[in-house]
Amino acid sequence: MSASKRRVKANKATVTIAQLAAAFPKCFAVYERRRRPLKIGIRQDILARLPAMDTGELSDALRRYCRNLTYLRILQAGAGRIDLDGKPAGSVTADAREHAGIEIKERSTRVRVDKTARGDKAGPKRLGLTDLKQAARQRASMKRPGTDLRATVAGPKSKNGLTDVKYTRPPPRASGA
Protein backbone atom coordinates (compact mmCIF):
# COMPACT_ATOMS: atom_id res chain seq x y z
CA MET A 1 0.00 0.00 0.00
CA SER A 2 1.40 3.38 -0.95
CA ALA A 3 1.99 6.14 1.53
CA SER A 4 -0.84 8.28 0.11
CA LYS A 5 -3.35 5.41 0.44
CA ARG A 6 -2.26 4.81 4.02
CA ARG A 7 -2.67 8.50 4.77
CA VAL A 8 -6.19 8.52 3.27
CA LYS A 9 -7.11 5.42 5.27
CA ALA A 10 -5.73 6.98 8.46
CA ASN A 11 -7.68 10.19 7.83
CA LYS A 12 -10.90 8.21 7.32
CA ALA A 13 -10.25 6.33 10.57
CA THR A 14 -9.69 9.62 12.39
CA VAL A 15 -12.97 10.98 11.05
CA THR A 16 -14.78 7.79 12.07
CA ILE A 17 -13.30 8.00 15.58
CA ALA A 18 -14.53 11.60 15.82
CA GLN A 19 -18.01 10.44 14.73
CA LEU A 20 -17.97 7.68 17.34
CA ALA A 21 -16.86 10.18 20.00
CA ALA A 22 -19.78 12.42 19.03
CA ALA A 23 -22.28 9.55 19.07
CA PHE A 24 -20.93 7.88 22.22
CA PRO A 25 -19.10 10.54 24.27
CA LYS A 26 -18.97 8.39 27.42
CA CYS A 27 -17.15 5.63 25.57
CA PHE A 28 -14.95 7.12 22.85
CA ALA A 29 -12.51 10.00 23.08
CA VAL A 30 -10.68 11.77 20.32
CA TYR A 31 -7.88 12.76 22.67
CA GLU A 32 -5.63 9.77 23.33
CA ARG A 33 -5.11 10.35 27.04
CA ARG A 34 -8.85 10.22 27.71
CA ARG A 35 -9.28 6.80 26.10
CA ARG A 36 -10.29 3.85 28.22
CA PRO A 37 -10.34 0.12 27.38
CA LEU A 38 -13.37 -0.84 25.33
CA LYS A 39 -15.70 -3.75 25.96
CA ILE A 40 -14.87 -6.95 24.09
CA GLY A 41 -17.24 -7.15 21.10
CA ILE A 42 -18.05 -3.44 21.04
CA ARG A 43 -18.06 -3.49 17.23
CA GLN A 44 -21.34 -5.45 17.19
CA ASP A 45 -22.87 -3.03 19.70
CA ILE A 46 -21.94 -0.08 17.50
CA LEU A 47 -23.37 -1.71 14.38
CA ALA A 48 -26.59 -2.49 16.27
CA ARG A 49 -27.02 1.17 17.26
CA LEU A 50 -25.64 2.70 14.04
CA PRO A 51 -26.62 0.30 11.22
CA ALA A 52 -25.74 2.86 8.51
CA MET A 53 -22.05 2.88 9.50
CA ASP A 54 -19.65 1.33 6.98
CA THR A 55 -18.25 -1.85 8.54
CA GLY A 56 -14.85 -1.50 6.85
CA GLU A 57 -14.34 2.04 8.08
CA LEU A 58 -15.54 1.05 11.54
CA SER A 59 -13.05 -1.83 11.65
CA ASP A 60 -10.20 0.45 10.54
CA ALA A 61 -11.18 3.05 13.13
CA LEU A 62 -11.39 0.52 15.97
CA ARG A 63 -8.07 -0.99 14.91
CA ARG A 64 -6.44 2.44 14.96
CA TYR A 65 -8.13 3.31 18.29
CA CYS A 66 -7.10 0.09 20.03
CA ARG A 67 -3.55 -0.08 18.65
CA ASN A 68 -2.71 3.37 19.90
CA LEU A 69 0.26 3.34 22.30
CA THR A 70 -1.58 5.32 24.95
CA TYR A 71 -4.50 2.88 24.76
CA LEU A 72 -2.08 -0.07 25.04
CA ARG A 73 -0.43 1.48 28.10
CA ILE A 74 -3.83 1.89 29.74
CA LEU A 75 -4.58 -1.76 28.94
CA GLN A 76 -1.25 -2.76 30.43
CA ALA A 77 -2.12 -0.91 33.62
CA GLY A 78 -5.26 -3.05 33.93
CA ALA A 79 -8.03 -0.44 33.83
CA GLY A 80 -11.65 -1.59 33.63
CA ARG A 81 -13.41 -1.94 30.27
CA ILE A 82 -16.46 0.17 29.38
CA ASP A 83 -19.45 -0.22 27.07
CA LEU A 84 -21.01 2.39 24.75
CA ASP A 85 -22.78 4.12 27.66
CA GLY A 86 -19.60 4.39 29.72
CA LYS A 87 -20.71 1.71 32.17
CA PRO A 88 -18.26 -0.94 33.41
CA ALA A 89 -18.20 -3.99 31.14
CA GLY A 90 -15.59 -6.30 32.58
CA SER A 91 -11.93 -5.90 33.32
CA VAL A 92 -8.73 -6.29 31.36
CA THR A 93 -7.45 -9.84 31.64
CA ALA A 94 -3.86 -10.75 32.47
CA ASP A 95 -3.50 -12.13 28.95
CA ALA A 96 -4.59 -8.80 27.43
CA ARG A 97 -2.17 -6.92 29.72
CA GLU A 98 0.65 -9.22 28.65
CA HIS A 99 -0.22 -8.81 24.97
CA ALA A 100 -0.27 -5.01 25.36
CA GLY A 101 3.16 -5.09 27.02
CA ILE A 102 4.59 -7.21 24.20
CA GLU A 103 3.13 -4.88 21.57
CA ILE A 104 4.61 -1.82 23.30
CA LYS A 105 8.07 -3.45 23.48
CA GLU A 106 7.93 -4.53 19.82
CA ARG A 107 6.99 -1.04 18.72
CA SER A 108 9.75 0.59 20.73
CA THR A 109 12.37 -1.79 19.29
CA ARG A 110 10.94 -1.31 15.78
CA VAL A 111 11.23 2.46 16.15
CA ARG A 112 14.80 2.13 17.43
CA VAL A 113 15.76 -0.15 14.53
CA ASP A 114 14.12 2.18 11.99
CA LYS A 115 15.99 5.18 13.37
CA THR A 116 19.37 3.46 13.24
CA ALA A 117 18.65 2.17 9.72
CA ARG A 118 17.85 5.71 8.59
CA GLY A 119 20.85 7.11 10.42
CA ASP A 120 18.91 9.26 12.91
CA LYS A 121 21.79 9.17 15.36
CA ALA A 122 23.31 12.18 16.95
CA GLY A 123 25.13 14.25 14.37
CA PRO A 124 28.85 14.85 14.29
CA LYS A 125 30.44 16.21 17.43
CA ARG A 126 30.37 19.98 17.48
CA LEU A 127 33.70 21.66 17.99
CA GLY A 128 34.30 23.71 21.09
CA LEU A 129 36.16 27.01 21.26
CA THR A 130 39.54 25.37 22.00
CA ASP A 131 39.09 23.01 19.04
CA LEU A 132 38.28 25.95 16.75
CA LYS A 133 41.32 27.91 17.94
CA GLN A 134 43.56 24.89 17.36
CA ALA A 135 42.18 24.45 13.82
CA ALA A 136 42.83 28.15 13.10
CA ARG A 137 46.43 27.78 14.32
CA GLN A 138 46.93 24.77 12.07
CA ARG A 139 45.59 26.67 9.05
CA ALA A 140 47.83 29.62 9.85
CA SER A 141 50.91 27.41 10.15
CA MET A 142 50.22 25.81 6.77
CA LYS A 143 50.18 29.21 5.08
CA ARG A 144 53.69 30.26 4.16
CA PRO A 145 54.47 33.95 4.41
CA GLY A 146 54.76 35.74 1.08
CA THR A 147 52.58 33.31 -0.86
CA ASP A 148 49.60 35.68 -1.01
CA LEU A 149 49.26 37.47 -4.30
CA ARG A 150 47.20 40.56 -4.97
CA ALA A 151 45.68 41.23 -8.33
CA THR A 152 45.98 44.81 -9.55
CA VAL A 153 45.01 46.30 -12.86
CA ALA A 154 48.11 47.06 -14.87
CA GLY A 155 47.45 49.70 -17.45
CA PRO A 156 44.78 50.29 -20.07
CA LYS A 157 42.78 47.61 -21.85
CA SER A 158 44.66 45.51 -24.33
CA LYS A 159 43.79 44.94 -28.00
CA ASN A 160 41.35 42.13 -27.22
CA GLY A 161 39.37 44.37 -24.83
CA LEU A 162 40.53 42.68 -21.64
CA THR A 163 42.42 44.39 -18.88
CA ASP A 164 45.90 43.16 -18.10
CA VAL A 165 46.29 42.05 -14.50
CA LYS A 166 49.55 42.22 -12.60
CA TYR A 167 50.07 40.02 -9.56
CA THR A 168 52.15 41.46 -6.75
CA ARG A 169 52.99 40.35 -3.22
CA PRO A 170 51.48 42.39 -0.39
CA PRO A 171 53.83 44.45 1.74
CA PRO A 172 55.13 42.64 4.83
CA ARG A 173 53.23 43.14 8.06
CA ALA A 174 54.73 45.24 10.76
CA SER A 175 55.69 42.99 13.63
CA GLY A 176 55.42 44.15 17.21
CA ALA A 177 51.73 45.01 17.14
Cβ–Cβ under 8 Å, residues 37 and 73? no
Supply the range of the domain harboring residue 72: 3-118
Short-list 73, 145, 64, 131, CA closest to 102: 73
* 28-34 LR contacts (CB < 8 Å, sep 24+): 28/65, 32/68, 32/70, 32/71, 33/70
Number of domains present in the structure of the chain: 1
**Per residue in 134-171, pLDDT tens?**
888 887 766 655 555 555 555 666 666 665 666 666 66
147 located within any domain:
no
Report how far residue 72's alpha carbon sits from residue 39's, in angstroms, rounded to the nearest whole number: 14
The pLDDT > 70 percentage for the chain reads 71
90 located within any domain:
yes
164 located within any domain:
no
The model's pTM: 0.59
CATH number at residue 62: 1.10.1710.10
79 located within any domain:
yes
7 located within any domain:
yes
Cβ–Cβ under 8 Å, residues 150 and 170? yes
86 located within any domain:
yes
Cβ–Cβ under 8 Å, residues 100 and 73? yes
Residue that wins the pLDDT comparison between 93 and 156? 93
